[in-house]
Amino acid sequence: MYNAPWKQPIAIEMPRPHGMQVVRTTQEAADCLIDKWPEPDFGPERDEALRLCLEVYENGEEPEKARDAFLRAAHAADLFVHERVSS
């Protein structure tokens, strides 16, 4: 389930040098949260999104919960998000 595609991918504009990222799975979300997230915006929403990604990986939690948390973290970090992306 960690690599299962989300029902709806999320396009997110990350700071340079990363640019626009299309996130389609919980694994891609975790990678983005760990490797590409803007450092001043490491807040509780990002921590919660990472926790839920780990729950999907370790315990089979629903991937859509990780997607929702990732989206909340992106909004809290004031990142530009486009939720309606073609798969």
pLDDT of residue 39: 81
Quick count: other Cβ atoms within 10 Å of Cβ 82? 12
Tokens 């919980």, located at residue: 26
Looking at the predicted structure, is the pLDDT value of residue 40 above 80? no
Using CA atoms, how far apart are residues 27 and 40, in angstroms rounded to an integer?
22
Q: 3-state DSSP call for residue 52?
A: helix
pLDDT of residue 41: 66
Going by the DSSP 8-state scheme, the letter that residue 16 receives in this structure is T
Using one digit for the tens of pLDDT, what is the confidence trace for 57-82?
Answer: 999 999 999 999 999 999 999 999 98
